[in-house]
Structure formats: C-alpha cells, structure tokens
C-alpha cells in the first residue's frame, strides 16, 4: 500500500510541477516569437524578394534538449498499453521545435530572412527504461543579409 501511495505522490508532483514548468516555457516561447515576427523564415531554397542586394549569407543553427518528466513518461507508458497517440510527447516535441527555431533566429537577429530551414529530431536515452529520456531538436538554415545602403558590407 505504501508503494502505491509513493507512486501517486510522485505522479501528482510530476503533474503539477511539470505542468507549471511547461506553461512557463510556453509563455517564454510566445513572447520571444512575437519579438521575431519581422524575421521571415521559410523552408524554400530560394530567397524571397529582391536578391540583387544580398551582402552575404551564413549558415545558422539553434538546438535544444528537453527532458521528459515523470508524468509524461507515466502517461506514455499507459498509452503504450492501450494504444493511440501519445499527446504528452506531442507537447514536448512542439516546445522543442519552437525553441530550436527561436534559438536559430536569436543567433542572427540582424538577418533579413532565413531560408532553407530544416529541423532534425533525435531521442537521447541509454535504453534504460528506468531513466528519463530527452529529445533533441536541431534547427538549421541559411541567413540572408541584405546590403544596407548606409552601412558597409561585413568582411567575412
């Protein structure tokens, strides 16, 4: 009976603190996304608009590793038993992808646009079912800088 009580307490703590951390992270993501609305990002390989005034291009990247909390692990285990989509992991991947793209944009705030955006996702675990796994997302693309008529082109 004590084992069940410990499991219930741990799952409850995981739910409340995990939910609080997730909401805080989502709030941070929304605020930072608003700050970068003016930096267009596309997965196409060709620059948008006039390409005559490009001063230079640069490979940029952003990556993040987010751990799976105990509550999400518990829900995923239950879902594996009964089948169906694992919504607990879907929010984890959503946060990781959005955070990686934001970190990419933060690495080149003076760029005029980012083209050829790509996302790579991988799972980080040692295969031990007792350990909490993590997800890594790498976002990379090409930052395009237009030549400003008032500024000198950077030296690369």
Boundaries of every domain in the chain: 2-146
Q: At residue 131, does pLDDT exceed 90?
A: no
Q: Can you give the pTM of this predicted structure?
A: 0.79
Measured distance CA(136)–CA(53) in Å, rounded: 36
What are the backbone dihedrals phi and psi of residue 10, each rounded to the nearest 5 degrees, phi first? Answer: -65, -40
The pLDDT of residue 30 is above 80: yes
Q: For residue 144, what is the DSSP state? A: E
> So what's the pLDDT on residue 1?
77
pLDDT at 135 exceeding the cut of 60? yes
> Given this model, what pLDDT does residue 130 score?
53
Give the model confidence (pLDDT) of 53-89 as tens digits.
Answer: 889 999 999 999 988 776 777 777 777 777 777 777 8
| Token couple for 4 | 């069940």
Which pLDDT does position 4 carry in this prediction? 87
Given the candidates 3.40.50.300, 3.20.20.10, 3.40.50.1370, 3.30.110.70, the CATH classification of the domain at 2-146 is 3.30.110.70
Asked if residue 92 lies in contact with residue 66, where contact means CB atoms within 8 angstroms, the answer is yes
Q: Is 122 exposed, middle or buried (0-12, 13-18, 19+ CB in 10 A)?
A: exposed
Q: What is the DSSP letter of 75?
A: H
Asked whether the predicted pLDDT for residue 97 surpasses 80, the reply is yes
């Amino acid at each position: 009976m004590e084992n069940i009580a410990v499991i219930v307490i741990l799952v409850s703590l995981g739910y409340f603190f995990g939910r609080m951390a997730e909401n805080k992270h989502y709030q941070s993501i929304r605020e930072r996304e608003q700050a970068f609305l003016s930096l267009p990002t596309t997965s196409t390989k060709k620059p948008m608009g006039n390409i005559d005034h490009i001063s230079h291009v640069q490979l940029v990247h952003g990556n993040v590793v987010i751990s799976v909390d105990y509550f999400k692990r518990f829900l995923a285990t239950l879902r594996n038993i009964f089948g169906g989509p694992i919504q607990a992991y879907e929010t984890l991947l959503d946060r990781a992808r959005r955070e990686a793209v934001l970190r990419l944009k933060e690495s080149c705030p003076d760029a005029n646009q980012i083209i050829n955006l790509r996302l790579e996702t991988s799972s980080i675990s040692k295969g031990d079912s007792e350990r909490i796994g993590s997800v890594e997302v790498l976002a990379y693309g090409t930052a395009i800088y237009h030549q400003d008529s008032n500024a000198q082109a950077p030296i690369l």
